[in-house]
Structure 1
Amino acid sequence: MEKKNRLWIAIFLLPSILIFCLIYGASVVTLFGSSFTEWKLASKLEFTGISNYVNLFADKNFLKALSNTVIWALLQSTIHIFIGVTFALILSKKEFYWKFARTAYMIPNIICSAALGMVYLSIFNPKFGAVNNIIRALGVEDFSQNWFMDYSSAFFTVTITWLPFAGVVAILVLAEIAAIPEAILESAKIDGAGEFKTNIYVVLPLLKNIIGTCVIVAATSMLKNFDIIFMTTNGGPGNTTLNLPLYIYKTSMLENNYGYANTIGAFLILLGIVMLIVINKAFKLGQSDI
């Protein structure tokens, strides 16, 4: 009986696996294969060995894009996760405002990223944006600036645009908190643990798996983030906000250097795999704590 069930499972999974291999597998193989070539518009592919990979680490634009991508991944998977988890712990008390706050915090996450980029352009507009208007109203006009185009503020401002992701983290963590057996929390209270200690020593350890999953989503999302940067700064000023996805776009579409762009793409895939391995090891995902 068990063998028959496994056979039917395999039969139903086979079409999906084949489609996945045809669409994604073939694309990845093509990507890695062409990364060892010089391939420009209207020219034949010319095998160049590992020269593209060697050139990566002598390319200042690539190194800047790489450092920005890694820094954003670290910020997204620490600060934004911290905000989301804190927000979830507050909402778990189910005060009178919790349903409204939960819904309001999710609204930015259902808006298209490109449209959200336009919203941020309006909010941070140097002439009529809400941020500069508030600064002027407070009488500190010297602090008003062109947030997305100033070297000193562009990176910080782009980082702020991803704060709504903390809302997604909050909802996921909140669902996990609701699944914690009430008996465990009651035992902590009986032992004399206050609300703060219960959260730190009981609740948070039980949230390890979901927090680890959120960290994976947060970190890897920075490896494919394109829309908001493209709409707000286009990688500027200079290369202050350039990241790897945007650099791939510029290299392929503006410079028509498809071979080198695919080399960057291959490196990006390898970087994502390394991130997944490190995060899985750090959080020991898949191991139950209850």
Structure 2
Amino acid sequence: MKQKNGGWIALFLAPACILFILIFAIPLVMVFVTSLFDYRLLPRTFTFVGFSNFVQLFTEDNRFWPIFGNTVKWLFIHCIFHVTLGTLLAFILYKKPRGWKFVRVTYMIPNIISQSAIAMIFLNLYNAQYGAVNSFLKLVGLESLQHNWLFETATAFPSVTLTWFLFAGYTTTLVLAQLLSTDESLIEAAEIDGATSFQIDRLVMFPVVKKMIGTTVIMAATYMLQLFSMLYITTGGGPGTVTTNLPLYLYTTMKANNYGYANTIGVVIILLGFITMTLIRKIFGMNKED
């Protein structure tokens, strides 16, 4: 009986495994392999150079470390502050205050709009000539605070960060769903024992949703490690490298017809993602089954 079941299991898993190998595993191996080559299309070049691309990236490329720093900063901001914001809102909404369903739905709306559309919205909001931000500052007599927000070195990084920082809808939705599905007897027992609302949140509810919060942190890290269109549309990575991250740098390197070097950057992104995910799982006590 087990042998028959094993055959059916293999049969039904085969399509998914084949797709995984073709779409994910083979391209992943190709990224690692081609990072060891001087790989260009015009003129056609495919010369083995070993770890020369990595040596150049880490020791000779003056742009790499500032760009790497931007990526790490955004990872930290998104995984810590962004998720915290969404979690706090979830803890407020699970107590079902007046209008909580309306807030839940409206707060999710920006997360279902494409990155490109949101980028265009903020590109217009920040516009130096007619944008709403500068227009409001002028209206209230604060012309001295007006800036070309996305294209001045001092303001570009925080301005770009704000285009996604406030929209923690996925975190709020997932954590709220876990909170609302928790057995109410846990809360009732804590209330009988004399626990305050804050103590219930900290000692009862937070442990219940801890792993879900960890999941949203992983989602936030993944989002940051593939963020591209938002930066490309708003600033193009400028001024200089102030708002350039590793995915955008990989893209510009590919446009320069240096595919081997671009895939070297891709390897760094993969390794950074692996290290980040490992740390998150360790911090939140998540095992391989979570």
TM-score by length of 1: 0.95
Deviation readout 1:18-76 (Å, 9 max, x if unpaired) = 11101221111111111001112222200001010111112121111111111100100
Q: Which residue of 1 aligns with 2:8?
A: 8
Q: Which residue of 2 aligns with 1:282?
A: 283
Name the CA distance, whole Å, in 2 between partners of 1:12 and 1:61. 48
> Within 5 Å, which residues of 2 pair with 1:212-223?
212-223=214-225
What's the secondary structure of 1:222's corresponding residue? helix
After superposition, the CA RMSD in angstroms is 1.5
What's the secondary structure of 1:49's corresponding residue? coil
Structure 1, 163-172 or 216-225: larger mean CA deviation: 163-172
Name the CA distance, whole Å, in 2 between partners of 1:180 and 1:9. 34
What's the secondary structure of 2:154's corresponding residue? coil
CA contact (8 A) 1:108 1:164 kept: no
Deviation readout 1:247-271 (Å, 9 max, x if unpaired) = 0010111x11111001111111111
Structure 2 counterpart of 1:9, one-letter code: I
Displacement after TM superposition at 1:9 (Å): 2.4
What's the secondary structure of 2:240's corresponding residue? coil
Displacement after TM superposition at 1:7 (Å): 3.4
Name the CA distance, whole Å, in 2 between partners of 1:135 and 1:7. 69
Name the CA distance, whole Å, in 2 between partners of 1:258 and 1:287. 34
> Within 5 Å, which residues of 2 pair with 1:1-290?
1-40=1-40, 41-58=42-59, 59-253=61-255, 255-286=256-287
Structure 2 counterpart of 1:267, one-letter code: V
What's the secondary structure of 1:77's corresponding residue? helix
Structure 2 counterpart of 1:168, one-letter code: Y
Displacement after TM superposition at 1:208 (Å): 0.8
Gaps in structure 2 of 5+ consecutive residues = none
Name the CA distance, whole Å, in 2 between partners of 1:116 and 1:4. 52
Structure 2 counterpart of 1:80, one-letter code: H
TM-score by length of 2: 0.95
What's the secondary structure of 1:161's corresponding residue? helix
Structure 1, 272-281 or 126-135: larger mean CA deviation: 126-135
Aligned sequence identity (%): 44
Aligned length: 287
Gaps in structure 1 of 5+ consecutive residues = none
Displacement after TM superposition at 1:139 (Å): 2.0
Name the CA distance, whole Å, in 2 between partners of 1:210 and 1:14. 30
What's the secondary structure of 2:27's corresponding residue? helix
Name the CA distance, whole Å, in 2 between partners of 1:193 and 1:95. 20
Displacement after TM superposition at 1:2 (Å): 4.9
Displacement after TM superposition at 1:134 (Å): 2.1
Name the CA distance, whole Å, in 1 between partners of 2:189 and 2:138. 53
Structure 2 counterpart of 1:138, one-letter code: V
Deviation readout 1:127-158 (Å, 9 max, x if unpaired) = 22222222222222211111111111110011
Structure 2 counterpart of 1:53, one-letter code: F
Name the CA distance, whole Å, in 2 between partners of 1:164 and 1:2. 52
Runs of 4 or more, structure 1, over 4 Å off, are none
Structure 1, 101-110 or 126-135: larger mean CA deviation: 126-135
